[in-house]
Structure 1
């Protein structure tokens, strides 16, 4: 058993930014499911958006963010984060050779989809996430107050006896031994849930663990229907092999059929750089009709130098860059929803915070604007660190009267294969959705009663399945309830936005409230 001032679950850019910004007199512990470098942030090819250009301004970046998010965004959050972006990025740029620069020493600014100006800062061409993460990891190495626990799978939040404060987390080690960690401030930074789908750009560890834990503990979960599918993953023999960054289209690549027909002509004013949900849906239409789509990169000079990581991925899978065409398909990329928090990262449970993709501040709305995610993680990590640094100056007692949420303790597991979960989510709750498939998926998910399983008795693999089923249920339920199409959520039976009924209306899930309502119905039935 350990007691820390700050307990961070996850090891992406938001988690590490928070850790390095906390003062040295705080005991900080980072728990990560695998290695510290196996995070989505480390894989991020795209860059970080900030209005740094001569002709750019945060007001333009704000407009682009709201437009991409289909005005489901929290406008105050958008304004605060986007306005802070230039100073935040310039400060990091001064720390070393992290970002790419022109010969005159100015930052190189690229273009990505749905941006009105060149404002994307890159590192190592298409290795921005790796560059930023390595910088933060080197900063961590200079701090003696931080302990990193690798290969530790956090699976259940611990609440005090009054059920109103999070005080720690239970985890399993590589030997499946149960270990409890306690902290005055517990932060979930576990990322999204991309591995719920057959095709995804996400790291293999990203399956919604943190969001599922928060949900079971009673935290508010919102906007789970808004899942972004990246238009261009390398697609070979029915499988996706890695991300082909949007920056490739920003440099002039176009989406074409086998005969060279450009598929985005006349579809959106920005053509191949249209919002991701528009481009993904367009590619999906062609694939559904048996037509392969390619990225035509023949007009990009020095592709191998500009995109070394992508070149390596392609050639490692038998695609020769010299051929000028990369076969692509859309796949799960980013979750706009998650644990409902304020901009500080505070959830609806005292002592429990969420930052990065696991959180939902309202910045992204219904669809994330390209390269706003690393920005959000860096911003949130720094903002929360300032608040905790001040808060921890006041002595706090750490209660250890634990409260475990086990509504039922079923020990006989009846769980589907992970691949079956992924395939059915892709088929029924993927890029294009409708009432029939969503209801079919809910019925299939509900038969497993995942929320009632006692996790202490499960292996880490089975816990992952349980969490995937819970998150899949939250996504499917929200997608069924939102009877419109907006951003990353597209309903073929409700293909248009419905501002009258749905603009900025959020679907909230809360497990405790759901259990209380269920108990009320049971008591009423018994009384009658």
Structure 2
């Protein structure tokens, strides 16, 4: 019976940070459904925010995070993020992690949207995520078992406790299971996310009975490179931080009269402005003509443009918004504990409330760094698994055969983008819900997927997660942060701290069934 002290599902930064602080104390296994480099963390072009300059202070960072989050944040979570972040960052620097510096050897601090100070650290220009994850992978080499191309298809639950995971090859048991699978960006046709990020972790937790929250808050990154009707890759917000501006086809500055911070306004504001321009048939471009040595400063973006035939010499990059980050997720406390004993979550898949209704730029890598370390401290205190300990046998879910049909991934992505995208209303959301529910969501929640193909499992879990987003968006009758309702365009302050929860019990009660 394969077992470990801790099983971590997912291979991004939050996962690696948790393992890094644990491996000297616990036997850790990491499962990734693809190669370990195929994560949002590896792709992260933007930097990591921390109040480290002499002109900055954690309280400024705190205020910026709350303002960007539309005052929906958990204040204590934000305090922890901005106060512990610099310490955790410098710990890695002291062990060899290198960030970009100026000619005097001091950190080079960049600027990004909604930040009041220059506090963004980068590594390799626009390769910060790759630099941080590869650094941690080197530190973990030989100390942690990383199982690639092994998809976790279910959580094992016995007597109200998560005791392991099931993969296509069998069951693995542990004293603690950590979900660190990232968000759900690939539920949308336009997305900055890695192809693997399809909301698996949310669906796994929900099927196991864990509560999820704030699923309506999806952040759309304003600037995806737009070529031949497709969003083909991310153009980092750091480009606007270095002076690039959004312009319409006739050269008019798009953001000039929309927000005081103009092109560096919060992402939800900029994304809606671009969406409004394209909805009336216009095109939006990012004017980069003022940035010297663009290819050297942003090598990843330069290569992306070259690959897709977009010339930097034109000085204008065609852009469109794409699904980027989930602010909600599996409900956790400030130590990563979910509502299900034995199950923890960290990173984008988890919701501590730290991001509120809209994540502040470059706070995502910081979240993984801070809350991964905090989770590890909690797991260190747990007793190690007894060698040869006997775990109870857990049967797969109760529905043996799924009687419904399944759509393909592209259909789900089109429905989510069209009806549950940047701008929403009751009619569009109800249309999406009706479409999703034709695929027998109650059965999908309970179905044994052991014999299903990888594609079938992906589609089923996309449907479950898409339904959670859609129904949560219907319930929040206000506009706040990443959730914008054209039929309720203003914030309703009585909703300020109300979180929308979804549990299996609530779901089955609504449809008149039983869990």
Range of TM-score over shorter length: over 0.9
- Whether the aligned pair in 2 keeps the contact of 1:167 and 1:398 (CA below 8 Å) is no
Deviation of 1:504 after TM superposition, in Å, equals: 1.1
Deviation of 1:413 after TM superposition, in Å, equals: 4.7
2:34 — aligned with what?
34
TM-score (normalised: structure 1): 0.94
User: Gapped runs of 5+ residues in structure 2?
Assistant: none
SS of aligned partner of 1:455: coil
C-alpha distance 522-421 of structure 1, shift in aligned 2 (>3 A): closer
1:93 — aligned with what?
93
C-alpha distance 472-393 of structure 1, shift in aligned 2 (>3 A): closer
Residues 87-166 of structure 1 aligned to structure 2 (within 5 Å) = 87-143=87-143, 146-160=144-158, 162=159, 164-166=160-162
2:67 — aligned with what?
67
SS of aligned partner of 1:409: coil
2 CA distance for matches of 1:100 and 1:443?
49
Residues 4-83 of structure 1 aligned to structure 2 (within 5 Å) = 4-83=4-83
- The equivalent position to 2:478 in structure 1, one of 469, 477, 484, is 484
- The equivalent position to 1:466 in structure 2, one of 460, 474, 487, is 460
CA deviations 1:52-97 (Å, max 9, x no partner) are 1211100000000000000100001101111111122222222225
1:526 — aligned with what?
none
1:414 — aligned with what?
405
SS of aligned partner of 1:421: helix
Residues 389-468 of structure 1 aligned to structure 2 (within 5 Å) = 389-392=380-383, 400-404=391-395, 406-452=397-443, 453-468=447-462
- The equivalent position to 1:168 in structure 2, one of 161, 164, 169, is 164
Deviation of 1:35 after TM superposition, in Å, equals: 0.5
CA deviations 1:5-42 (Å, max 9, x no partner) are 01000000000111111143421101000011111100
Match status 1:508 vs 2:501: yes
CA deviations 1:425-460 (Å, max 9, x no partner) are 000000000000111111111110134133123111
SS of aligned partner of 1:5: strand
Deviation of 1:399 after TM superposition, in Å, equals: 5.8
2 CA distance for matches of 1:399 and 1:431?
49
Task: Answer with 314-323 or 409-418: which moved more.
Answer: 409-418
1:295 — aligned with what?
286
CA deviations 1:149-196 (Å, max 9, x no partner) are 110110110011x2x110011112xxxxx3111111100000000000
Deviation of 1:512 after TM superposition, in Å, equals: 3.7
CA deviations 1:453-474 (Å, max 9, x no partner) are 3312311110000000000000
Aligned length: 512
SS of aligned partner of 2:358: coil
1 CA distance for matches of 2:50 and 2:290?
27
Deviation of 1:396 after TM superposition, in Å, equals: 10
Residues 193-342 of structure 1 aligned to structure 2 (within 5 Å) = 193-342=184-333
SS of aligned partner of 2:381: helix
SS of aligned partner of 1:109: coil
CA deviations 1:375-408 (Å, max 9, x no partner) are 0001111111122112236979966224446353
SS of aligned partner of 1:456: coil
- Whether the aligned pair in 2 keeps the contact of 1:157 and 1:169 (CA below 8 Å) is yes
User: Gapped runs of 5+ residues in structure 1?
Assistant: 173-177, 524-528
2 CA distance for matches of 1:441 and 1:516?
21
Deviation of 1:262 after TM superposition, in Å, equals: 0.3
Deviation of 1:320 after TM superposition, in Å, equals: 1.1
- The equivalent position to 2:492 in structure 1, one of 493, 498, 503, is 498
1 CA distance for matches of 2:483 and 2:493?
14
Deviation of 1:515 after TM superposition, in Å, equals: 3.2
Task: Answer with 14-23 or 215-224: which moved more.
Answer: 14-23
- Whether the aligned pair in 1 keeps the contact of 2:89 and 2:369 (CA below 8 Å) is no
1 CA distance for matches of 2:387 and 2:73?
35
2 CA distance for matches of 1:35 and 1:310?
22
- Whether the aligned pair in 1 keeps the contact of 2:505 and 2:514 (CA below 8 Å) is no
C-alpha distance 301-522 of structure 1, shift in aligned 2 (>3 A): closer
1:353 — aligned with what?
344
C-alpha distance 435-93 of structure 1, shift in aligned 2 (>3 A): same
Q: CA RMSD in A?
A: 1.7
